[in-house]
Amino acid sequence: PCPSACQAGLPAPSRPWSGRRRSIPRPGSSVNGRGALSFSCEFGYNTCVMAVARDRKLKQILEIVESKKAEDVRILDLRKLTWITDYFVILHGDSLIQNRAIAEALMDNLRERPISVEGYEDGRWILMDYGDVIVHIFMPETRRFYHLEKLWGDAEVVSPA
């Protein structure tokens, strides 16, 4: 776990420590008039702050998709398998309209805008790339056909808490 001042209990970064300490803004503190104090991370990376922000984003995504009655929501932890993203959130809706409503709710309610949105017009598989989290919104038959859970079978399935 990260022994730095944030006490987030996160795993140490996979990259070696550079030997220099860098400041990391502590959540709720203030820097440059934005309310942020800084502290040094023993690893020299923004690992802790980024992970806390990612976990908040993941929690928000889950709350939003559940409010839109998404079904069979699964979270795959890909951090040990690829550099592309940290998590996949895989879910499906019962209709194209519901899938688009889920995608719109994510775009409207998340503070962060997606880097990319693919498949919105068709609605059978909508992919929303938030960098460290990629959301896949499927129709049930499309989800069964592509079966990302099997394709990424080595990934740890995280229970939505």
- Residue ranges of the chain with per-residue pLDDT less than 70: 1-54, 160-161
H or E stretch including 100?
helix 96-109
pLDDT at 116: 94
Tokens of 47: 């690992």
pLDDT at 55: 78
pLDDT at 125: 96
pLDDT at 57: 85
pTM: 0.68
pLDDT at 129: 95
pLDDT at 23: 39
* Residue 38, Cβ density class (10 Å: 0-12 exposed, 13-18 middle, ≥19 buried): middle
